[in-house]
Structure 1
């Protein structure tokens, strides 16, 4: 098994963070997203989610969690050959907040080292803050370490020309932090 690493990207923000993390290290990628997302459908390393009713639009954390539970065995099988699992996710939305705790639990139960790199919503996204806080609390018992970026605490975002540019810088910063933590900690060093 060695020291193999799998990055599990959940939702759109998770994909952006994962792409940045992969620029710092050699790691495989697993995308978990709603089935309707075109970028997920034709990628071999992906798990597409639908609700028990066959819907691929998640209106709540409950819906996305139910969808993740439907493919729990597939997710567990995808995690099997890896020692370290890096979860990348933007918390506060339905997909990431519902799926990330399920994946963290599955990875931890399989004896994997789990590190999460997450973003929290802006203060103006009031309805998403409590969702993000709840998902973060659910992640904690299953993750060896969580690297958190709170958008609201980074005043340097104002120095960028666009929100996309600022969010890319956030993804790059998270990637640097994840890479540094992995270089400093051997696998299974609990």
Structure 2
């Protein structure tokens, strides 16, 4: 006689991580569009923006470093904040077959933190895909330079 296993997971375990303000906004838009079959996660240094996000899974990046006040458009602070939160990121990404990391390049948290999140996803064996935006010309050379550095 055969018995059916009720807790069988069919298909890939897909997670979308929005890093920083731009990435978190992208995740909110995806949630509003009622995408199914994907776990949405947001990671940010700005605790107010994090709390306002609609994602059910959230990572406060670099609480000791930033005190929840954001990265101040400094990619090094974003990078260090993500490194500080390494264990929390691992916990949220474990079990993923595929991870999409989305961020706006040019600011602090997305530019500095998204590469760390992507690296952790790869270390965990997930197929990792980055979906990022670059700043508009009118946002200035500094943000554009930060974006180029973050993409390197």
Per the normalisation by structure 2, the TM-score is 0.79
Query: Which one has the bigger helix percentage?
Result: 1
Question: What's the counterpart of residue 87 of structure 1?
Answer: 101
- Matched residue of 1:85: which SS? strand
Q: Which of 136, 144, 152 pairs up with 1:129?
A: 144
Q: CA offset at residue 105 of structure 1? A: 0.5
- Matched residue of 1:63: which SS? helix
Question: What's the counterpart of residue 61 of structure 2?
Answer: 49
Check whether the contact 2:75–2:108 (CA below 8 A) recurs between aligned residues.
yes
Question: What's the counterpart of residue 73 of structure 1?
Answer: 87
1:23-42 alignment, distance < 5 Å: 23=33, 24-40=35-51
Q: Following the alignment from structure 1 to structure 2, what is the Cα–Cα distance between the partners of residues 79 and 92?
A: 25
- Matched residue of 2:137: which SS? coil
Per the normalisation by structure 1, the TM-score is 0.64
- Matched residue of 1:62: which SS? helix
Question: What's the counterpart of residue 18 of structure 1?
Answer: 27
Q: CA offset at residue 134 of structure 1? A: 1.1
- Matched residue of 1:82: which SS? coil
Deviations 1:1-44 (A, max 9, x none): 74011010112211222234453442111110124324437865
Q: Which of 116, 125, 141 pairs up with 2:130?
A: 116
Residues 135 and 112 of structure 1: CA distance in aligned 2, closer, same or farther (over 3 Å): same
- Matched residue of 1:133: which SS? helix
| Structure 1 vs Structure 2 CA RMSD | 2.2
Check whether the contact 1:83–1:113 (CA below 8 A) recurs between aligned residues.
yes
Q: Following the alignment from structure 1 to structure 2, what is the Cα–Cα distance between the partners of residues 113 and 6?
A: 10
Deviations 1:124-162 (A, max 9, x none): 22210011011112xxxxxxxxxxxxxxxxxxxxxxxxx
Unmatched 5+ stretches in structure 1: 138-190
